[in-house]
Amino acid sequence: MSIQENFELAKKAYEKWGINVDEVIETLKNISISVHCWQGDDIGGFEVNPKELSGGISVTGNYPGKATTPEELRADLEKALSLIPGKHRVNLHAIYAETNGEVVERDRLEPKHFENWVKWAKENGLGLDYNPTLFSHPKADDGLTLSHPNEEIREFWINHCIGSRKIGEYFGKELDTPALTNIWIPDGYKDIPSDRLTPRKRLKESLDKIFAVEVDERFNLDAVESKVFGIGSESYVVGSHEFYLNYAMKNNKLCLLDTGHYHPTETVSNKISSMLLFSEKLALHVSRPVRWDSDHVVILDDELKEIALEIVRNDALDRVIIGLDFFDASINRVAAWTIGTRNMIKALLNAMLVPNEHLKQLQEEGNFTERLALMEEFKTYPFGAIWDYYCKKMGVPVKESWLEEVKAYEQEVLFKR
Ligand code: RNT
Ligand code: ZN
């Protein structure tokens, strides 16, 4: 049976439940995922004197072919994006600035250092998002940045974050879609602190200074990302969930929830509705923690499906900014992007192909038997047939055929590096 025939049959099955498949496809087309550039080069970046990755995060593996120049990284991203249906965004970090061989300290970075990225984004119809880089730097060697006891160090990072918001604003203006500028810091202690309050007070003051600078919200949105622990900050993280949740609420900033940054039995899917009741917008870093915040490639697992369901059933597609955050150097990096991003889109499609209103109603009526029965039955509805049709319609490879393109690219480009 052809893709079209399979699609027609599947469509009928969904239509029985009042799901308008054509509408679902139109909606899906307009959802942009923010694809993180750092999967392409193991969070290396292009600084003139690059420092080893620090900040308690880690990339393992040495699969050949990683991008070592901006041109290579953009080419690899283009390849991956050509295998992913829809129009998306690319998420940059400050270390991906292009300074023409000149050493430019991070607190001196300006929009001009990202001109090539913006030009490329325009050519490819992409939006851009941004992150200041507060790790892999001598001034972050103590494991403290915005909360550092030394004022000069704090000032350096404050200025870096202020400059970053302006770079975000520049992206938003140039590309006609607001950039999300997300602040994540590694600050914390390996061992039990004797004072938890003082570093948090300093972080609060630093953030106040960063956000005191006026940046146009039409072009740049500010987010803050919490964490529960990192390598070397096992006992205490300054920017904890409660810290940023309160900070964001009081100061009208976005909270960014990373799926690897909570206790193992705590899920982001269960937090989304609570966040949406109190904030207009919410940002996500969709990742896959395996035993710890390991940043594995996102797979179509129960939690990913549940996250997508929460966004869709709460009618929040335009309120949740979906970004990805994983880095695996043990497999082909273009494939990693493709697998993870296609899965995020698949999860959203799956969520739209569920009779969400009917299931809500059953719950309201206390009919938990039917709620469970239908939720389970829908797991084996022919959602793959709709996905295949969608890929075909969007002009990207259907099913696993994208793998052939990655293999060819590997032979022709990646292995020759
Ligand atoms: C680290 C955070 C952070 C980084 C990226 C590179 O635990 O998740 O978002 O992964 O900024
Ligand atoms: Zn993250």
In the annotation, is 258 catalytic? yes
Contact indicator for 282, 322 with CB cutoff of 8 Å: no
In the annotation, is 42 catalytic? no
Q: Give the HSE-up count for residue 336: Cα atoms under 13 Å, Cβ half-sphere.
A: 28
Which of these is catalytic: 107, 258, 303, 405? Answer: 258
Burial class (CB within 10 angstroms; exposed 0-12, middle 13-18, buried 19+) of 100:
exposed
Q: If you take atom 1 of ligand 1, which residue's CA is the nearest one?
A: 57
Tell me the whole-structure pTM to 2 decimals.
0.98
pLDDT in tens, 80-139: 999 999 999 999 999 999 999 999 999 999 999 999 999 999 999 999 999 999 999 999
Ligand 1 atom nearest to 43, measured from its CA: 6
pLDDT at 54 over 90: yes
Spell out which residues line ligand 1, taking CB within 6 angstroms: 38, 43, 57, 131, 184, 225, 227, 258, 285, 293, 325
pLDDT in tens, 140-184: 999 999 999 999 999 999 999 999 999 999 999 999 999 999 999
User: Does an H or E element contain 64, and which?
Assistant: none
**In angstroms, what is the span from residue 258 Cα to ligand 1's centroid?**
8
Nearest ligand to residue 239 Cα: 1
**pLDDT at residue 1, as a whole number:** 86
Would you say how long the chain is, in residues? 417
* CA–CA separation, 32 and 308 (whole Å): 13
Residues 6+ apart with CB under 8 A from 147: 154, 185, 187, 199, 200, 202, 203, 206, 238
Helix axes 197-212, 151-175, angle to 10 degrees: 40
**pLDDT at residue 219, as a whole number:** 98
Q: Which of 54, 133, 258 best tests ligand 1's pocket when mutated (most atoms within 8 Å of CB)?
A: 258
Ligand 1 atom nearest to 227, measured from its CA: 7
Q: If you take atom 7 of ligand 1, which residue's CA is the nearest one?
A: 57
Q: Which domains does the chain have, with CATH numbers?
A: 1-30+354-417 (no CATH), 32-352 (3.20.20.150)
pLDDT in tens, 256-312: 999 999 999 999 999 999 999 999 999 999 999 999 999 999 999 999 999 999 999
Contact indicator for 106, 160 with CB cutoff of 8 Å: yes
Which of these is catalytic: 227, 241, 271, 305? Answer: 227
